[in-house]
Structure 1
């Protein structure tokens, strides 16, 4: 295994924190969590003694009474858009049953065709889709099939559609363990089994054909600078972004590979991890206020308001009271463009574990936040200069792909046409959907194609794997016959 970085994990990284200030020693800053569909991911965690932790998800979208909504208690915006929320459920069914026609259209086209208001589109649908799939400012161009699958597909949905509030009240998500430690332990285990891992190493493809690939490998760390070798391999699995794979293949790429890999559009985003609570509260609604709450119209809503008004206390699976974790801020000058935010102290489990059960939260000034600025071509809109530089913990640039509608017309269906070309396979979340689970499944699928056996452990997971294998490799998964006892 070659990696140009000095560690495993890719974007799944952890950073150290000052525990005396922030209440925890580490923070997952690239990938933070997922839903119950992440069965393969969780199995890898448990294999090395790590356990994902449940958390009742709380979101806070928009700023001010006219734009704010949450899944914790009723808000004026949800009340105002109640009829459109119900219509949205009917539209999801239309997309499902007219998939070949409507599914390929971008979300912005569907929202216009069915005459949804700008408020519903820009304040509810687009932020929700952007936040949980990481589609950012390209969300209006996302294929509608992804929108429908997000709510309805058993293998992909992150939550159930709610006809009253769009997002159900407090769905269960899972936060990940220390990803830096997990990937370190996984790598050490593989090394002990004979896998050779070369970090700080770059490769160049010299030749590629039906017998394999000839590579030039070169370390670029201090002790081995300049050392280059040529090595022949029977197969290649390129687990890197599509644009990097295309660059590696260069003149050795077939026209099909150039077409498919070239269809993945990437954007450069910036994540700033910080503790500037003043800035964060200026951008997002992070505290409960009666002004943000609509008058409850049912017993269920009365209970929700009562819970939101309570003094926040730590629980095993989240927080009692209003403690939002995911945030969206839209720009008034361009409502389709957003900034995303996380209150990591509210979200990630290690902070609650330090506090203990039924304890009040740390003051906001000790919280760790993340603000994600999307697409460096839109920097004129970013509010990053408003963050107090003395409270910045980390800054990281990310190379993220956009789920444009073209991705599901050109790239996903094209994967089966290029996987296996000249003994080359591809893996990564970009092959389908930007999820850690897809990244894991894509690697398992590549191993399966090379002759490894898939080990069934869960009917849901096995079905998910079978569908991915069929879509991206054109291979029908052969289920093992159950043994008779």
Structure 2
């Protein structure tokens, strides 16, 4: 762009991870772009939020949404460090199932692991076939792959589906997830969370990282964007009035601080013109925002992403949490000490949990699931945030015993509002509830990869509109689709 030519005026809608990244990238070329970042919320960050805690829990804050990630999140970690925030390492401990017939963990062998030893090894071979025949097998739902290769129902329901649901965030839609995600969970050099273990399925204590205080981080990131000339406009509602491939986009903008659809017109600011529109919101929200202005292609592609309403209850009810998950080592949960490695794992798990800088010595799980007996393909998930997030360990100090269980901060995640008749949330002591947060979750079903992913090329960039919502496709693909046409470079 020639010096002195007018800057391109861009409206970025959605101030979550995708919207903030988009605004930050465009801000690097401030001589070319005038960036306006909109969100109806009162803060940036989207689902990456923090809440205040009573000091009796040992820490004064908690990341109550996004909590951490694996080493593959290296770009995210570098971004944290750019603003003076350091992710903290933790050795991951997980607990799947409840009772000897469904429990397994990555810390020590269990009777379930012994029972399905042959199928665990078989799964390793099937993963190689999925990778080899990716265009054919990779698109098939996990439930079809399990039937096709003749895995038992119990192995699929008790081990494979909970594993995918917990670590890929696919919830109760896991049976419909494309098997390529299962393969990449273990095998893809750029995406895998950890290596496949032919003995216990999951590796023992793989490296993970917990995020810094996300509320503070997004506050500082927002200040940086402001200093670069980005106009951050929060508690603001939008309506698309017109899109023209040559003339640009007209928006109606109003103060949304009342969060009331009935009163939205009371706070109208004005109508405003933009050269480009970037929708960094979920696909269904983008479709709704387009309304009558959506083309048939946009309706078809954006309508191919399914969403489900989940809720996370943050609480300190140890009795409830212990009743639905396996939280402590028990001899009856232990499998055969058939090798030196297994004997060492069992000896480690038997210890009274002691705090370490990067986790816990002894069995102190952080991630949990259990399946419903009446519907074994559906699960509830949980976190022991005290065992997981680093600020609690820092408060204790190395070599200390854990806080008393009733001082732990837990989260139980109830999946898909349509399945609420299965939920156990009524059993949580109401006096011990710290917070409640609803999620509008993206379901990675197989249709998403046959309809939305290939269809995005036919709508992105048309009518001066680009799509970059994290839960529209996947962040790495979407951000490239946005930043490359606008800036000529890929965001890294």
Q: Is the structural similarity TM-score above 0.5?
A: yes
Q: What is the aligned partner in structure 1 of residue 138 from structure 2?
A: 103
Partner of 1:57 in structure 2? 92
Which deviations, in whole Å up to 9, do the C-alpha atoms of 1:197-243 show, x marking residues without a partner?
11110111111011310111111226995233111101111011100
In structure 1, the partner of 2:275 is 234
Deviations 1:312-336 (A, max 9, x none): 1111111111000000010000100
Displacement of 1:443 in angstroms is 4.0
| 2:178 matched residue in structure 1 | 143
| Aligned counterparts of 1:226 and 1:311: Cα–Cα separation in 2 | 58
Describe how 1:149-164 pairs up with structure 2 within 5 A: 149-164=184-199
Structure 1 window deviating more from structure 2 (143-152 vs 221-230): it is: 221-230
Return 5+ residue gaps in structure 1 as ranges.
456-461, 463-485
- Aligned-partner Cα distance in 2 for 1:224–1:16: 33
Equivalent in the alignment of 2:168: 133
Partner of 2:148: 113
Q: Which residue number corresponds to residue 5 of structure 1?
A: 41
- RMSD, aligned α-carbons: 1.5
Asked if structure 2 preserves the Cα contact closer than 8 Å seen for 1:330 and 1:339, the reply is yes
Q: What residue in structure 2 maps to residue 428 of structure 1?
A: 469
Aligned partner (choices 424, 428, 434) of residue 387 of structure 1 = 428
Look up the SS of the partner of 1:450 in the other structure: helix
Aligned-pair distance for 1:43? 1.6
Change (3 A) 1:246 1:407: same
CA shift, 1:192, in A, is: 1.4
Contact 2:355 2:400 in 1 (8 A): yes
Residue of 351, 364, 383 corresponding to 1:323: 364
SS at match of 2:454: coil
Cα distance in 2 between the residues matched to 1:224 and 1:337: 42
Deviation string, structure 1 residues 409-441 (Cα, Å, up to 9, x no partner): 1111222222111121111222434xxxx37x7
User: How does 1:107-256 map onto structure 2 within 5 Å?
Assistant: 107-210=142-245, 211-221=247-257, 225-256=266-297
In 1: Cα distance, 2:485 partner to 2:77 partner: 23
For residues 224 and 186 of structure 1, the distance between their equivalents in structure 2, rounded to whole angstroms, comes to 31
- Establish whether residue 40 from structure 1 lines up as the match of residue 81 from structure 2: no
When residues 348 and 249 of structure 1 are mapped into structure 2, their CA distance, relative to the original with a 3 A threshold, is same
Moved over 3 A (4+): 222-225, 441-445, 452-455
Matched position secondary structure for 2:392: helix
SS of aligned partner of 2:155: helix
What does the per-residue CA deviation read over 1:71-94, in whole Å, with 9 as the maximum and x for residues that have no partner? 000111001100000000111111
2:65 corresponds in structure 1 to: 30
Q: Deviations over 1:231-265 (max 9, x none)?
A: 11011110111001001111211221111100000
Partner of 1:283: 324
Residue segments in structure 2 that go unaligned for 5+ positions in a row: 1-36, 259-263
Counterpart of 1:368 in structure 2 is 409
* Number of matched pairs: 450
Counterpart of 1:412 in 2: which secondary structure? helix
Structure 2 length normalisation: TM-score? 0.89
1:261-272 equivalences under 5 Å are: 261-272=302-313
Aligned mates of 2:283, 2:489 — CA distance in 1: 26
**1:60·1:70 contact (CA, 8 Å) conserved in 2?**
yes
Paired with 2:181 and 2:298, the residues of 1 have a C-alpha distance of 24
Pairs within 5 Å for 1:450-465 = 450-451=486-487, 453-454=489-490
8 A contact 1:412–1:431 mirrored in 2: no
